[in-house]
Structure formats: structure tokens, C-alpha cells
Amino acid sequence: MSGFLAELGRALPRLGEGLLVTVESTVLGAGLALVLAYALGLMSGSRSRAARGAARTVVEFFRGTSLYVQLFWLFFALPMLGFRLEPLACGVVALGLNFGAYGAEVVRGAVAAVPRAQLEASVALGMGPGLRLRRVVLPQAHPLMVAPFKNLLVQLLKATPLLSLVTVPDLTFRIDQLRSATGDTAAAYLLLLAVYGVLAGVLSLLMNALERAAKARLGTGGDG
Amino acid sequence: MRREPEDTVAGPEDGVAGTVEAVRFDRVTKRFGEHTVLDGLDLAVGRGERVTLIGPSGSGKTTILRLLMTLERVTEGVIHVAGEPYSHMPSGHGERGAGAGPGGPDPKAGLVPASERYLAARRRGIGMVFQHFNLFPHMSVLENVVEAPVHVLREGKEAAAARARELLGMVGLADKVDARPTRLSGGQQQRVAIARALAMRPEILLLDEVTSALDPELVAEVLDVLRDVARATDITLLCVTHEMGFARDVSDRILMFDRGRIVESGRADQLLDEPTHERTRAFLRAVR
């Protein structure tokens, strides 16, 4: 155990880099997922049949095929077609597509949950479709999205270790190196569990604050 | 001064003698699946006229308002507003007034169903107050009233806010401008909704059972505000209500509906005091 701690001390700078890569892939993957979630989610609720159909197809495809396989496809198969992405880019794209597909369902559901009467009121005030969405529907849908988005974000974080399989030097990758160097599998993986647990906790706290703020804006906060 | 409403319904293409109609339903039918809610309805409302629609639930009264607000689309027939087609739009130029077919002139001659863009421009002259208020919960009272004038009519924020305060003062809520709608009583919420609708300066105001969701002691404050609106403006009112006292006070004309058809129509006091149709008598006995 003391040998492990000594090795851990020497490895700290690399573990720090790994942590940064994990945070980076989480943030970038979540950012891409969020953009796709909105685009696909709003298209799913569109009146245009073509837009709906396209969104449904994309969502079902990326929800229905494993993240693991998508990642390997991007990393190993895509270069054979002449496109080569950096390992981290592969990871971000795979995370973004996969979680964007799940997120699209969150956006679609939240938009659909805004009462129809709110839309009717905005029609009666002469508001066009864009204005209705921006000023009436989305502000009321956002608070409904925060809790499911929090779950997805924590799941996305916990999916990032997959990236170490395509040579992305993230936290998992670095701690695995530590494990090889020390042979102390139990200690290394215990450390790994702990760090992801703490990261997930921090994310949850951030999202809880966001949820409270969103609900307060809607006037349905805890004091009501 | 308000113009006296026309006694008779003008026929199609009849826009002479300055009797411009605010609203005309031309053989309008509305079906939801197999269920026919309105059945070949003809109805004309003069500019500035106050018309109340009464009748049992499901008789099609609310559907008339919802069609006018474009919350529903007609199945057959055409709605005109201010003398122009409304549910439909001209399919081209100079094609209107095509010949009469069997059963009279085809109301749809030269017209195609209105596009969303056509409606977006035309529906601005019409406002609606709903049974359940439908205020925007994420906005303050003032923001609710200012929203559409600023973003739809592109009025300046300051001017819109000043007018909103004026309207909120008129409905007796000057001290609630910063409150959230969810903190207000039903009667207060409905008065905000009235101010919000008036802020768009509609020529036609639709009132859809605006007191039906209120506790009985809150009904009067809302109806008093609407009496003031009726007195102080020359707005065209179409009103669905079960409040017969209010109907008598504000209406020029009352229409009794049953099963998607008008069974009786007349001046307010005349229809309420001396209904000629048995269906009207039975209905009035039931609601009083």
C-alpha cells in the first residue's frame, strides 16, 4: 500500500491531466449533446412531417445502437472511409450523438408538457410560431428539462471511461497506467470509483442550483 | 358614439350603406371526427355590435369563438372578418365572385384555406379572454400585458409599459403590476387577462365563459370591468356566458344555440323576457 501511495504521488501530474481530459470530454460531449437535443427535440415536435421523420430516425438510431459500438465505429471504421478524427474528437462526437438522442426526448417531452392553453393564449395575442416558442413555450419547458438533463449529464460523465478504449488519455486511462505500474488493482480501482463519485456529486450540485433558479423564474419555487 | 347594430343580417356581397360587418360566418360547418358541432351556420355581427351566445354545453358557442381566434379551422364554409375572407384567402388575383352553383353562390369560390402567414396578419385585430385566464406564469402581471404589444406590435417598451399600467389601473390592479399571476385570485387573474387582451387594441373581443371558472364572489368584479369596457369603447364583442344579467346589460343581441344551430335570435330584453322558442324557454328556466 505504501508503494502504491509513493507511485500515486509521482503520478499525480499525469492524473491531473487525465482529470482535465475527462472534464473536457464531459463538457464538450454535453455541449454537443445539448445542441443536438434541442435541434432534434424541436424537430420531433414540428408540424412538418419531413422534419419529424428525420428527427425520429436519427434519435432512434443513436438511442438504439450502443455508445461503445458508435465509438469504435468512429475510431476504427471511419478512417477506412477516409475520415480520421482525433481520439478525443471521436469520443466527443460519439457522446454528443448518443446523449443528444436521449436529450432530444427530454426536450420533446418538456415542450409537449407545456399546456396547450398557453399556446392558445399566445395565438390570441397574435404571436407567431417563433415568438410563441421563444417567449412562451421554452421558458416554461426549461424547468422541466433540468432534472432529466441532470441524470443524462451524470450518465455521460460515467460513460467517458469508454474513451480510454480508443486511446484517449483520460482519468481512467491514467489510473489504469498507475495500476499496471503498481500491480495494486484494488487500490487503483477504488481510487477510480472515488474520483468519479466526487465528480458526479459536483455535477449534481451544480444542476440542483440550476433547477432551483429555473423554478424560481417560473414562480413555482419552494416558497409557493 | 357607437353605431346602432343592424337588425338584419346582410346578404353575401352586401357591403352597401356603410353597414360594414365585423364578422360573417357563411354556411360554416365544423366537425370533430363524426361529431358535427356547427352545422351550416350563417351569422353576421355588425361593427361595434355586442352579441352574446347562449345555449347548453356542446351547442357550438365556444367553437364559434375558437374558429374566430383560429384555434380551430372550419370544415366547410367561409368566415369573413371586416369584409375580407378570413378562414380562407384569395387563391389568385381577380378570380373572386365566380358564378353561382346549385344551392346558391359557392362561398368558397376563388378561395383557398388561409395559410398560417395570412392568418398571422389577420388575427391581430381579434382578442380573446379565456375561461381559465391562461396568463403566462413565467412573467409578472406587467410583463404579461406588455409582451405582445412589444414583440408583436413592436411598440416601444416604455410606451407599452405606460399603457399597460393604465389598463391595469382600469381593471383595478395598479398595485399588482409586479406580482406573479399565480399569486393572484382567479378574479384578479381574469382582470389581468382582460387588460392583456385590450393591450393589443383589438377591434373584436371574444369572451369565452370568462366567469365560469371563478368562485361566485369573484364573478362581479370581472363582469363590472367588462361592463366598463363595453361602455367606454366601441369594440365589437362576442360573448359566451351563462350570466344572464351580464348578457342583458351588455348585449345588443342574444343568440340562442342548440346543436350547432341558432334556434332563436333577438334583442337582449326581448329574447330573455319573451322567448318565442320552447327550447329557449326551457334553457332560460334551467339557468336562472
Nearest CB neighbour to B137, from listed A123, A131, A218: A218
Residue from B153, B280, B172, B178 nearest B220 by CA = B172
Tens of pLDDT along B164-199? Answer: 999 999 999 999 999 999 999 999 999 999 999 999
Tens of pLDDT along A49-69? Answer: 999 999 999 999 999 999 999
Is A223 domain-assigned? no
Computed over every residue of chain A, the mean pLDDT equals: 91
CA–CA dist B160, B177 (Å, integer): 13
Question: Which chain B residues touch A120 with a CB distance below 8 Å?
Answer: 69, 71, 130, 134
- pLDDT for A210: 87
Is A92 domain-assigned? yes
Q: Are B190 and B129 in contact (CB under 8 A)?
A: yes
Residue from A182, A203, A180, A205 nearest A22 by CA = A203
HEC per residue, chain A: CHHHHHHHHHHHHHHHHHHHHHHHHHHHHHHHHHHHHHHHHHHHCCCCHHHHHHHHHHHHHHHHCCHHHHHHHHHHHHHHHCCCCCHHHHHHHHHHHHHHHHHHHHHHHHHHHCCHHHHHHHHHCCCCHHHHHHHHHHHHHHHHHHHHHHHHHHHHHHHHHHHHHHCCCCHHHHHHHHHHHHCCHHHHHHHHHHHHHHHHHHHHHHHHHHHHHHHHHHCCCCCC
Is A109 domain-assigned? yes
Question: Which chain A residues touch B181 with a CB distance below 8 Å?
Answer: 219
Question: Which chain B residues touch A134 with a CB distance below 8 Å?
Answer: none
Domains of chain B: 48-72+121-287 (3.40.50.300)
**How many angstroms separate the CA of residue B48 from the nearest CA in chain A?**
20
- pLDDT for A68: 93
Is the CB of A139 less than 8 angstroms away from the CB of B138? yes
- pLDDT for A118: 97
**How many angstroms separate the CA of residue B13 from the nearest CA in chain A?**
28
Question: Over the Cα atoms of chain A, what is R_g?
Answer: 21
Residue B237 has a CB neighbour count (10 Å cut-off) of 22
Question: Which chain A residues touch B127 with a CB distance below 8 Å?
Answer: 124-125
Q: Is the pTM of this model over 0.90?
A: no
Is A224 domain-assigned? no
Question: Which chain B residues touch A133 with a CB distance below 8 Å?
Answer: none
Specify the range with the lowest mean pLDDT, choosing from A5-14, A193-202, B5-14. B5-14
Instruction: pLDDT band for A149, please (50, 70, 90 cuts).
Output: very high
Residue from A180, A207, A162 nearest A69 by CA = A162
Is the CB of B147 less than 8 angstroms away from the CB of A135? yes
Kind of pairing, strands B111-113 and B88-90? Answer: antiparallel
State the sign of the Cα–Cα–Cα–Cα dihedral B275, B279, B284, B285: positive
Q: Are A73 and A6 in contact (CB under 8 A)?
A: no
Is the CB of A125 less than 8 angstroms away from the CB of B196? yes
Tens of pLDDT along A64-91? Answer: 999 999 999 999 999 999 888 999 999 9
Region class of A139: left (phi > 0), else alpha (psi between -120 and 50), else beta:
alpha
Segments of chain B with pLDDT less than 50: 1-18, 93-101
Residue A179 has a CB neighbour count (10 Å cut-off) of 19
Residues of chain A whose beta carbon is less than 8 angstroms from a beta carbon of chain B are: 117-118, 120-121, 123-129, 131, 135-136, 139-140, 217-220, 224
Question: Which chain A residues touch B134 with a CB distance below 8 Å?
Answer: 117-118, 120-121
Q: Are A124 and B72 in contact (CB under 8 A)?
A: no
Is A8 domain-assigned? yes
Percent of chain A with pLDDT over 90: 79
A126: closest chain B residue by CA? B124
B130: closest chain A residue by CA? A121
Question: Which chain B residues touch A136 with a CB distance below 8 Å?
Answer: 136
Rounded (5°) CA angle B20-B21-B23: 155
Burial of A48 (0-12, 13-18, 19+ CB in 10 A): exposed
**Residue A4 amino acid letter:** F
Residue B153 has a CB neighbour count (10 Å cut-off) of 14
- pLDDT for B3: 46
Nearest CB neighbour to A140, from listed B130, B132, B137: B137
CA–CA dist A160, A168 (Å, integer): 10
Tens of pLDDT along A170-190? Answer: 999 999 999 998 989 999 999
- pLDDT for B90: 87
Is the CB of A220 less than 8 angstroms away from the CB of B197? no
- pLDDT for B19: 61
Domain count, chain A: 1
Tens of pLDDT along B122-180? Answer: 899 999 999 999 999 999 999 999 999 999 999 999 999 999 999 999 999 999 999 99
Is A133 domain-assigned? yes
- pLDDT for B117: 86
- Domain of residue A110, residue span: 2-218
- pLDDT for B287: 84
Return the bridge partners of B127, or none: B205
Task: Cell numbers for A166, please give them.
Answer: 480508443
**How many angstroms separate the CA of residue A85 from the nearest CA in chain B?**
44
Question: Which chain A residues touch B142 with a CB distance below 8 Å?
Answer: none
What CATH number should be reported for the domain holding residue A177? 1.10.3720.10
Q: Are B121 and B198 in contact (CB under 8 A)?
A: no
Residues of chain B whose beta carbon is less than 8 angstroms from a beta carbon of chain A are: 69-71, 116, 120, 123-124, 126-128, 130, 132, 134-138, 147-148, 151-153, 180-183, 196-197, 200, 206
For the cut 60, the answer to whether the pLDDT of residue A116 exceeds it is: yes
State the sign of the Cα–Cα–Cα–Cα dihedral A201, A202, A203, A205: positive
- pLDDT for B15: 38
Return the bridge partners of B104, or none: B101
